[in-house]
Structure 1
Amino acid sequence: MDKLKRIGRIFLWTLLLMILSSIPMGLIMLFTGLLMAAFSGDLGDIFSPLALGLGLIGEIIVVFILKQEYKGDPKQLHQIMPFDKKGSFLRYATGYVLGIAFFALIWGITVLGKAFSVSVIWQNSNWAVLLAFLLGFGMQGMTEEVIFRGYLQGRLEKEVSQRWAILISALAFAVAHLGNSGIGINALVGLTLFGILMSLFRTYTGDLWLAGAFHSAWNFAEGPLFGTPVSGINGTSVVLESHPVSGYAMLNGGTFGIESSYLVFVGLFVLVILTYYLGQNYAKPSNRINS
């Protein structure tokens, strides 16, 4: 019974962290809505994406909350926010390159399959918006990893087996997107596979640098660079705009985005198997999943 109560508290804290992470976005978008009511035309078109990028940056509030909550327990703080300094730049850079490259590969195959209609929308005035999204998705991706792979997975590993902690955190990550536009069974499958991959990154590296960078890079490529929906969220296109062609949902994922496509299922499944193999054979013994 005590274990069930502890697990219940873990889930309640996870829900609270998700709610808190959304507050800065809500406030900024409300303020932006008021500004857009006063201005129209090109000025209003700039306000909305810029505010969205700034709102994403605000999600870092979760990191400060957790640091305050666990500042008196360094060991537990490291369990829920493992950020080792040694080799951090290399792991982050590797994760970011892998995230961009993997999305670019999936997007390229989709375009070759004529599942996207692509147009260039870049303008020289877009630099501020692009930078806001670069920082915003950097904070947002890392914050979600802190919540689900750091806090949730880290705390659950003290209560259940490592394998169950990985699966539960991945499922919770998928369920957290139920309010997004275009969500469906396919999207939940894709998000769960993505969550499992991020959990394996956390497990085998022993920290969140690789997972946070991959997640951030994926979202940044998905929206601002290649112009597809970011898990059902539109309005983030900056460089390219990719319109999903109807009848090709198996490739482009429809209105939710490319995570809902069968192509991503295959790609993520392959990465999960490859990561598991490499991790179980080449990661430090202390970071391998217990048999």
Structure 2
Amino acid sequence: MSKKSIGQKSLHFPLTKIIIGFIVCIGIVRIAQTFIKKLMEITSFDKDFKNLIGGIFVAILAIISYSYLFKFYEKRKITEFSKKGIVKNLTLGIILGTILQSLTIFVIYLKGGYSIISINPILFIVPPLTVAFSSAIVEEILLRGIVFRITEEKLGSYLALIISAILFGAMHLANPNSSLIAGIGLAIQAGLLLAAAYIYSRNLWFPIAIHFAWNFTQSAIFGANVSGNTISKTLITSKIEGAEWFTGGQFGPEGSIQATLFCLVATIVLLALSHKEGKIIKPYWKKTTNR
């Protein structure tokens, strides 16, 4: 075996591809954030709109950097961001994410734990819109576009599902007011659901839309904490109180049992549909056996 072939294999080893993907995409995003922040400082825009413009700029650059990196790295067409079916995937994703979050809050309301204190000006949705939009795109590129997709190619859909879900939950353990239970809940809710959404749609628009709608509805509309983080401005100022098992406590509704159950049901449905339509990828050793 030649040194060149060893080098080529090392370069295209799954872990190598994941590390390079993270370094390039995160590096470009960090540089872009610094650049746009400096640029916005010389403008007279309101702070919230500066952040919104910056968030949109960073999100677009994240998509471009991912697309060009893997187009040349893997020498293929980037179907994850295909325009085909984009309206359908974004619409269904937003509807699903909104319904799941609304059901979660509805359980809290039924138990007398949710009340509206005030309804604020419409522009109060700008800060949570910025956070939801940028985080949905960047996190889905990193966790589903890079980690899950590359792992799935070798280990198959189900093992990749578990690995990426654990990683997603672990990443949120450092969040304010987080806990092991909250991390496990997020691993099941977002970690499994969003990867299942990718398997079913075979693009990133569907999980991005679910992720965005979940976070945006939770913060902007219902005025709740998102993964332990409090947004200063929301359309509705609310009061959420009660036992942590159904409110999520200071971590937010994502820490509730019903959020986990609702998302788990949606995950099972998507995986069942994916299995029926032949979209589940087998691990490499089963592919080899079947030849």
TM-score of the aligned structures, taking structure 1 as reference length: 0.79
SS of residue paired to 2:64: helix
Aligned residue number for residue 98 of structure 2: 100
Aligned residue number for residue 280 of structure 2: 288
Structure 2 distance, partners of 1:3, 1:233, is 39
Conserved 8 A contact 2:199-2:280 = yes
Aligned residue number for residue 210 of structure 1: 206
Residue identity (%): 23
Structure 1 distance, partners of 2:215, 2:76, is 29
Conserved 8 A contact 1:252-1:260 = yes
TM-score of the aligned structures, taking structure 2 as reference length: 0.79
Structure 2 distance, partners of 1:29, 1:168, is 35
Q: Does 175-184 or 69-78 show the bigger shift?
A: 69-78
Aligned residue number for residue 289 of structure 2: none
Deviation at 1:110, TM superposition (A): 0.9
Q: 1:15 to 1:82 in 2, by over 3 A?
A: closer
Deviation at 1:150, TM superposition (A): 0.9
Letter in 2 for 1:9: T
Q: 1:114 to 1:143 in 2, by over 3 A?
A: same
Aligned pairs, number: 271
Match of residue 138, structure 1, among 133, 137, 142:
133
Deviation at 1:5, TM superposition (A): 9.2
Conserved 8 A contact 1:3-1:159 = no
Aligned residue number for residue 69 of structure 1: 69
Conserved 8 A contact 2:51-2:130 = no
Residues 1-291 of structure 1 mapped to structure 2, 5 A cutoff: 6-13=13-20, 15-16=22-23, 17-18=25-26, 21=29, 47=47, 50=49, 53-60=52-59, 61-72=61-72, 75-76=75-76, 78=78, 82-123=80-121, 126-127=122-123, 129-131=124-126, 133-134=128-129, 136-193=131-188, 194-245=190-241, 247-281=242-276, 283=277, 285=278, 287-290=279-282
Conserved 8 A contact 1:59-1:140 = no
Letter in 2 for 1:69: L
Q: 1:239 to 1:260 in 2, by over 3 A?
A: same
Deviation at 1:29, TM superposition (A): 7.9
Conserved 8 A contact 2:156-2:281 = no
Structure 2 distance, partners of 1:211, 1:202, is 6
SS of residue paired to 2:172: coil
SS of residue paired to 2:153: coil
Conserved 8 A contact 1:53-1:133 = no
SS of residue paired to 1:202: helix
Q: 1:64 to 1:6 in 2, by over 3 A?
A: same
Q: Does 140-149 or 20-29 show the bigger shift?
A: 20-29
Structure 1 distance, partners of 2:232, 2:244, is 20
Structure 2 distance, partners of 1:173, 1:30, is 31
RMSD: 3.2
Letter in 2 for 1:274: V
SS of residue paired to 2:264: helix
Aligned residue number for residue 43 of structure 1: none
Q: Does 136-145 or 149-158 show the bigger shift?
A: 136-145
Q: 1:278 to 1:160 in 2, by over 3 A?
A: closer
Structure 2 distance, partners of 1:174, 1:72, is 31
Deviation at 1:175, TM superposition (A): 1.9
Q: 1:162 to 1:276 in 2, by over 3 A?
A: closer
